[in-house]
Amino acid sequence: MDTKIKVMISLGSSYAAGCIPCFDHYYMLAKEEEIADDDIKETIAIAKKVRNGSDIALEKAISDVIDGNEVCVKMNDESHPCKCG
């Protein structure tokens, strides 16, 4: 994989993770690699869809637990706080 692709993946991951210092770092590397602004914008647009999808899934899972439609995910860990297992 070439450096430009690695930087673009890192930019998208930084956005999806909500890490401003990482995004700033990889944006600087993107400029050093002469990655076009349009490519950076497209990378962020894709990462935004991933992040939004994750947020929607999390909100639904929380709502299901609160509304009693779903029970806590069973874990094989004695320290699990709800002791659902």
User: Considering only 19-28, 33-42, 59-68, which range has the smallest mean pLDDT?
Assistant: 59-68
So what's the pLDDT on residue 81?
A: 57
What is the rounded average pLDDT for all residues in the chain?
85
pLDDT bracket for residue 33 (50, 70, 90): very high
Third-level CATH fold of 3-66: AhpD-like (1.20.1290)
pTM listed for this prediction: 0.67
Considering only residues 68 and 36, tell me which one the structure prediction assigns the higher pLDDT: 36
Which residues are CB-neighbours of 35 under 8 A, at least 6 positions away? 4, 7, 8
Considering only residues 72 and 32, tell me which one the structure prediction assigns the higher pLDDT: 32
- Domain boundary assignment for the chain: 3-66
So what's the pLDDT on residue 60?
A: 82
